[in-house]
Amino acid sequence: MSEAGNHAELTRRRMLQGAGVALTAAVGTAVLGLAGPTGTPAAAAGPGGHDTFDEVYRGRRIQGRPAASGHHHHGADYTVQIDGEELHVMRNADGTWISVVNHYQSHQTPLALARAAVVELQGATLVPIA
């Protein structure tokens, strides 16, 4: 991923944060979730209506899919992995998403959240959390 991509992502996050629209703009999330420069089209929509994704973003493999039935992990029916390690994610009441490394900033889709986590991690490896 280019520096420009990073900049665009930061700018978008800043915009969402500053205008407070992250909390209201649920429309078009599927488009946002799939339209990334290296985005792989979703294989299927999960039971929760969230798309499955599997792509390489800035050199990291990011995967997202609905969690196995019965596996409700802290309010998420969805699981995200970065290079095979679980990223703890949570869904907000308005449908937006946060993760353990972006816990105070909502993202529109699990894919956007996973990409933001890759930016935040700067190459570091996720470790299991208690």
Partner 1 sequence: MAVRKNQATLTAKEKRDFVDALLQLKRLGRYDAYVATHNRFIVSDTDNGERTGHRSPSFLPWHRRFLLQFEQDLQSVNPSVTLPYWDWTADRTATAGLWADDLLGGNGRSGDNRVTTGPFAAGGGQWTITVRPDSRDYLRRSLGTGVAQLPTRAEVESVLAVQTYDAAPWNSSSAGFRNQLEGWRGVNLHNRVHVWVGGLMGTGMSPNDPVFWLHHCFIDKLWAEWQRRHPQQGYLPTAATANVVSLNTAMKPWNDTTPADMLDHTRHYTYDSAF
Residues that bind partner 1 (CB under 8 A): 10, 13-14, 17-18, 20, 23, 74-75, 88, 90-94, 100-106, 120-122, 124-127, 129-130
Contact 32, 109 (CB under 8 A): yes
Kindly tell me which of 60 and 65 has the beta carbon lying closer to partner 1.
60
Give CA angle at 9 (15, 126), nearest 5°.
Answer: 120
Kindly tell me which of 44 and 127 has the beta carbon lying closer to partner 1.
127
Least distance CB 90 / partner 1 (angstroms): 6
Least distance CB 126 / partner 1 (angstroms): 5
Q: Give the integer Cα–Cα distance in Å for 2 and 24.
A: 29
Least distance CB 110 / partner 1 (angstroms): 16
Q: Give the integer Cα–Cα distance in Å for 116 and 24.
A: 19
Kindly tell me which of 19 and 43 has the beta carbon lying closer to partner 1.
19
Kindly tell me which of 43 and 103 has the beta carbon lying closer to partner 1.
103
Least distance CB 41 / partner 1 (angstroms): 29
Q: Which residues contact 97 (CB under 8 A, 6 or more apart)?
A: 89, 90, 91, 106, 107, 108, 109, 110, 112, 113
Exposure on the CB side of residue 41, measured as CA atoms within 13 A? 0
